[in-house]
């Protein structure tokens, strides 16, 4: 790539004031697709390496976005890959030069999007770095590899751009929302810029996969917030919470279906929908009766403290690199010990019956005050911890609220918790299994016993006041203006 044009970017960014901090955001949208060739100057081949949830979605979206431009999207797989057939079924073939052996594709591509499992990136990066053409661009959708390089004292390859675009949602949502025209938000990062084009390349990648907006971060910040977030409210915590609340509802005498509606259906249905459309403030307004507000307040106040403690422990594990080591070790054990199923308790049988009966139900399931209180307390404790650790607001809001309600929970609502967790990355699937039970135990052993006490929690007034006046309400309103309304239809 010879042209350098850093002063006149193809995709301009804007500074957004989020709670007094200026953050860099680029607005995307399908109307920008015709500008892609302008930003992808010198890029003839985009190699999408891997065919997991992200590889499949990003390859399909980029191919559709670049149709007619002459820029080729080629999928790279290991020779023995079980994904070869599926890639062909999606129209990527060796005959058309759009499917090939991964190392050959890496050596030929101008832009290499490395979307194999994170642990495989860690294993294979020396060979991958060696094969990159001088002046090429390496794209990552996660900071995992950077975290590993930091841990072992290794460096990124010289003479290439290194960029990140990390969709804030599972691969299935990246494809589905692209087809629906709304798209999934993404973060973007520029780690190495050898010729002044790296930001435009990153934004072209974000626009090409359909992101309605992309916010600037670094891959190190992205690594921490993402690995932390998926173990917490995005996957692990939400699973643990509903398991504990279901058991509690059964202990209180609810029938199986009623217990499921209170613990899970009310969360994945009306609570998630309200959060998506009106933010956390909307949930507070939706609790209209004094009983609902009191029930919510007690659950919220009982949960916030224990959740904050567990979340801090989790963040420390991620920040120290121990969680990444545990992922690599777990991946190494997979051939002998495949991942255990996550949807095994009786509540999910009840859930299947509740879903079948959904259309014939006389009235919609309401928001359950206790479930809302527990769930939002974990969510807000996560937000507060990420703020304290210095993450940008756009990253915090996406990793704690937007990704949960606009990308992930709709899958749990439609087909259960396994459908949500097991459509995510290997790193996320391992982490949700490891940390979900810790959140379940936290709710069962600390929160619910406290709720059975005399009904007052020390400091409850202050915790609730902090929620009502929280800056996240304004942040969510501002970010909502940047994207079209999302109503992800998952059947």
Handedness of CA 76, 82, 88, 94 (dihedral sign): positive
> In terms of CB distance, is 75 or 275 closer to ligand NAP?
75
The span from the CA of 459 to the CA of 456, in Å, is 9
Active site annotation includes 239? no
Q: What angle do CA 446, 391, 237 make, to 5 degrees?
A: 30
The span from the CA of 131 to the CA of 249, in Å, is 57
Tell me the two tokens of residue 376.
């939002």
90, 142, 239, 337: the catalytic one is: 142
* Shortest distance in whole angstroms from residue 49 CB to ligand NAP: 8
> In terms of CB distance, is 55 or 100 closer to ligand NAP?
55
CA distances from 45 to 4, 81, 91, 113, 126 (A): 19, 21, 16, 11, 22
Are the C-beta atoms of residues 343 and 443 closer than 8 Å to each other? no
* Shortest distance in whole angstroms from residue 57 CB to ligand NAP: 8
Q: How far apart are the first and last CA of the chain?
A: 44
> In terms of CB distance, is 144 or 439 closer to ligand NAP?
144
> In terms of CB distance, is 100 or 373 closer to ligand NAP?
100
> In terms of CB distance, is 77 or 131 closer to ligand NAP?
77
Nearest residue to ligand NAP, scored by beta-carbon proximity? 52
Select from 443, 421, 449, 408 the least CA-distant residue to 246. Answer: 443
* Shortest distance in whole angstroms from residue 117 CB to ligand NAP: 3
> In terms of CB distance, is 171 or 305 closer to ligand NAP?
171
* Shortest distance in whole angstroms from residue 30 CB to ligand NAP: 21
Select from 445, 421, 444, 446 the least CA-distant residue to 434. Answer: 421
Which residues in this chain contact ligand NAP in the complex, by CB under 6 A?
50-55, 77-78, 81-83, 115-118, 120, 123, 141-142, 144, 166-167, 170-171, 424-427
* Shortest distance in whole angstroms from residue 411 CB to ligand NAP: 11
> In terms of CB distance, is 24 or 83 closer to ligand NAP?
83
* Shortest distance in whole angstroms from residue 361 CB to ligand NAP: 31
* Shortest distance in whole angstroms from residue 58 CB to ligand NAP: 8
| Active site residues per annotation | 142
């Amino acid at each position: 790539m010879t042209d350098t044009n850093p002063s006149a970017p193809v995709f301009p960014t804007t500074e957004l004031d989020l709670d007094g901090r200026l953050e860099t955001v680029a607005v995307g949208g399908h109307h920008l697709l015709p500008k892609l060739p302008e930003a992808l100057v010198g890029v003839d081949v985009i190699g999408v390496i891997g065919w997991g949830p992200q590889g499949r979605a990003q390859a399909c979206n980029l191919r559709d976005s670049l149709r007619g431009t002459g820029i080729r999207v080629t999928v790279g797989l290991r020779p023995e890959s079980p994904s070869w057939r599926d890639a062909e079924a999606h129209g990527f073939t060796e005959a058309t030069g759009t499917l090939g052996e991964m190392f050959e594709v890496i050596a030929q591509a101008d832009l290499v999007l490395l979307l194999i499992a994170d642990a495989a990136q860690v294993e294979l990066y020396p060979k991958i770095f060696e094969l990159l053409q001088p002046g090429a661009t390496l794209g990552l959708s996660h900071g995992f590899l950077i975290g590993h390089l930091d841990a072992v004292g290794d460096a990124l390859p010289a003479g290439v751009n290194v960029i990140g675009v990390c969709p804030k949602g599972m691969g299935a949502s990246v494809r589905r929302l692209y087809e629906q025209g709304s798209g999934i938000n993404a973060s973007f990062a520029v780690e190495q810029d050898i010729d002044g084009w790296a930001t435009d390349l990153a934004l072209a990648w974000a626009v090409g996969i359909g992101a309605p907006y992309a916010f600037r971060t670094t891959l190190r910040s992205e690594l921490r917030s993402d690995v932390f977030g998926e173990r917490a409210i995005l996957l692990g915590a939400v699973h643990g919470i509903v398991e504990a609340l279901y058991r509690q509802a059964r202990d209180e005498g609810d029938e199986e279906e009623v217990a499921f509606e209170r613990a899970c259906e009310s969360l994945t249905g009306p609570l998630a929908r309200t959060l998506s459309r009106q933010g956390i403030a909307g949930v507070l307004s939706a609790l209209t009766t004094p009983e609902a507000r009191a029930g919510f307040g007690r659950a919220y106040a009982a949960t916030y403290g224990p959740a904050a403690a567990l979340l801090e422990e989790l963040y420390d594990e991620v920040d120290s690199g121990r969680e990444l080591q545990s992922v690599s070790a777990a991946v190494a054990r997979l051939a002998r010990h495949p991942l255990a199923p996550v949807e095994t308790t009786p509540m999910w049988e009840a859930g299947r019956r509740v879903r079948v009966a959904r259309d014939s139900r006389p009235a919609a399931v309401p928001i359950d005050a206790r479930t809302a209180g527990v769930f939002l307390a974990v969510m807000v404790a996560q937000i507060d911890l990420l703020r304290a650790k210095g993450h940008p607001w756009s990253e915090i809001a996406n990793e704690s609220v937007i990704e949960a309600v606009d990308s992930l929970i709709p899958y749990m609502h439609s087909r259960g918790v396994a459908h949500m967790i097991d459509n995510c990355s290997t790193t996320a699937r391992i982490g949700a299994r490891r940390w979900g039970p810790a959140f379940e135990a936290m709710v069962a052993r600390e929160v619910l016993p406290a709720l059975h006490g005399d009904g007052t929690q020390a400091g409850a007034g202050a915790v609730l006041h902090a929620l009502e006046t929280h800056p996240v309400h304004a942040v969510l309103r501002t970010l909502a203006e940047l994207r079209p309304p999302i109503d992800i239809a998952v059947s």
